[in-house]
Amino acid sequence: MNIPLFFPTPQQDTIAQLIEYCEARSLRAFMLIADRNTYPILGQAVEQALLARGWDVKKVVFEQDEVVPDETFLVQALVQADQVERMYLAVGSGTLTDITRFVSHRTRRPFLSLPTAPSVDGFTSPSASLVLGRIKKTVISQPPQAVFAHLPVLADAPQAMIAAGFGDILGKAIALADWKLGALLWDEPYSAEIAARVRATLDACLKAVDEIGAASVSGVEKLMFALFDSGMCMLDFGNSRPAAGAEHYMSHFLEMKLLKEGRRAALHGAKVALCSMYVSDLYIRFRQIDRAEAVQRLQASVLPDAQADMERIRTVYGEIADSLIIEQAPFLQMTPAGYEALKQRILDHWDELQDLAAQVPHPPTFADLLLRVGGAVTPQALNLLPGEVELALHHSHLFRNRFTICKLGRILGLEPGL
Ligand SMILES: [Zn+2]
């Protein structure tokens, strides 16, 4: 798939590029969606530029303190839809983009993304992350037609949002290792080419860590490019597997818990980065086992009781348990023979598994990188209670039918509670 990403050039800023883009495609009517933070920093200038051409612009500017992609906000945007063939413009970060993505798709209109913070790699995603009935749901929608990266605005974003974007990319260190684990042990579809592209986004951000920490225009450009490319990898692969592993499932777990308890959730990338440190610790414990010890541990390992697992899913996940039980079916329905075969596969691939674990940075490396971009490195900094991240580590592997170090750690008895 080809979604153009526009960066400003010395000759042309992003708004001029947007006008040229619309001119070339005879786009004359727009629905701009922003909130009270993103409208003054970018939305207004875009609106004025479009109006100056004599074009038709309708807008929705959310006035609430916090924008949530839930029924209230979706309907606020939806009621403004009319019969005119408008191009939607999402002026904002992940949440506003998801609202626009969903509403434009359901009204059969395309949209353009104008991010105001380099906070997440989901701008080009085909699905919207929504909150429906206070439950987080991923709903198929559409990717944008193009992304316009207004660098001065992006570089001016709150440092916490820049750090969150960096954190979302940092999580790829875990996601890539988990993906390969899934390919080796669980026959998950894998693409070496896409894995190499995701690795390149990670490497580019690691190299630019201090520039990103300083929020320089060049640092933010590199970060934005990495976020865009990571999103394109998911789009090209057809699902989020290349860019999401245990660290993302933990983050989703925490987000769902906070939503249910009516607590304010920290930024997605901030949670992903923190969770990555905990998963990294599990990878280290895996590395400390040699083959002989693995043989012993596997001999002692028994097939988890499916009834007990289903009970656990019901207790932990409540109203969404039924859909998770269906998702987990390949694990829940594993036979003793299948479990023995899986254990054998772990031994057959032992050296490869150890090699890929060796590529995962250690928790202090994660912490050092996060501190350099001004990110959070403790649960308290993200308003999480003691023990909550551990809960996520223990239970979030029941969330998806994907193989991660948490699944492997469970078989090897690396962490009680998995
Ligand atoms: Zn993410």
Q: What is the tens place of the pLDDT at every residue in 123-163?
A: 999 999 999 987 888 899 999 999 999 999 999 999 999 99
- Return the pLDDT at 400: 86
What's the CA-to-centroid distance between 111 and ligand 1, angstroms?
Answer: 21
What's the CA-to-centroid distance between 247 and ligand 1, angstroms?
Answer: 9
Q: Report the distance separating Cα 46 and Cα 38, nearest Å.
A: 11
Q: pLDDT (tens digit, 9 = 90+) per residue, 281-298?
A: 999 999 999 999 999 999
Q: Report the distance separating Cα 245 and Cα 202, nearest Å.
A: 14
What's the CA-to-centroid distance between 8 and ligand 1, angstroms?
Answer: 25
What's the CA-to-centroid distance between 23 and ligand 1, angstroms?
Answer: 33
Q: pLDDT (tens digit, 9 = 90+) per residue, 165-208?
A: 999 999 999 999 999 999 999 999 999 999 999 999 999 999 99
Residue type, 271: K
Burial of 28 (0-12, 13-18, 19+ CB in 10 A): middle
What's the CA-to-centroid distance between 168 and ligand 1, angstroms?
Answer: 5
What's the CA-to-centroid distance between 58 and ligand 1, angstroms?
Answer: 31
pLDDT over 90 at 311, yes or no: yes
Output the six-digit token pair for 116: 């105001």
Q: What is the rounded end-to-end Cα distance, in angstroms, of the chain?
A: 38
- Per-domain residue ranges for the chain? 5-157, 160-171+245-412
DSSP 267-316: PHHHHHHHHHHHHHHHHHHHHT--HHHHHHHHHH--PPPHHHHHHHHHHH
Q: pLDDT (tens digit, 9 = 90+) per residue, 84-126?
A: 999 999 999 999 999 999 999 999 999 999 999 999 999 999 9
Fill in the DSSP letter of residue 36. Answer: T
- Return the pLDDT at 345: 98
Mean pLDDT of 228-248: 95
What's the CA-to-centroid distance between 164 and ligand 1, angstroms?
Answer: 9
What's the CA-to-centroid distance between 175 and ligand 1, angstroms?
Answer: 10
- Return the pLDDT at 136: 83
Per-chain mean pLDDT for the chain: 96
What's the CA-to-centroid distance between 316 and ligand 1, angstroms?
Answer: 23
Output the six-digit token pair for 305: 């009781």
Mean pLDDT of 1-8: 94
Mean pLDDT of 43-58: 98
What's the CA-to-centroid distance between 155 and ligand 1, angstroms?
Answer: 20
Burial of 366 (0-12, 13-18, 19+ CB in 10 A): buried
The CATH number for 5-157, chosen from 3.40.50.150, 3.40.50.620, 3.40.50.300, 3.40.50.1970, is 3.40.50.1970
What's the CA-to-centroid distance between 271 and ligand 1, angstroms?
Answer: 9
What's the CA-to-centroid distance between 273 and ligand 1, angstroms?
Answer: 9
What's the CA-to-centroid distance between 174 and ligand 1, angstroms?
Answer: 12
Q: pLDDT (tens digit, 9 = 90+) per residue, 327-378?
A: 999 999 999 999 999 999 999 999 999 999 999 999 999 999 999 999 999 9
Four-residue CA torsion sign, 336, 341, 344, 349: negative
What's the CA-to-centroid distance between 337 and ligand 1, angstroms?
Answer: 36
What's the CA-to-centroid distance between 42 and ligand 1, angstroms?
Answer: 24
What's the CA-to-centroid distance between 252 and ligand 1, angstroms?
Answer: 10
- Return the pLDDT at 265: 82
What's the CA-to-centroid distance between 199 and ligand 1, angstroms?
Answer: 15
What's the CA-to-centroid distance between 328 and ligand 1, angstroms?
Answer: 22
What's the CA-to-centroid distance between 235 and ligand 1, angstroms?
Answer: 13
What's the CA-to-centroid distance between 403 and ligand 1, angstroms?
Answer: 18
- What are the residues whose beta carbon lies below 5 Å from ligand 1 (ion)? 168
Residues 6 or more apart from 337 whose CB is under 8 A from it? Answer: none
The structure's pTM equals 0.95
What's the CA-to-centroid distance between 277 and ligand 1, angstroms?
Answer: 15
What's the CA-to-centroid distance between 192 and ligand 1, angstroms?
Answer: 20
- Return the pLDDT at 63: 97
Q: pLDDT (tens digit, 9 = 90+) per residue, 210-237?
A: 999 999 999 999 999 999 999 999 999 9
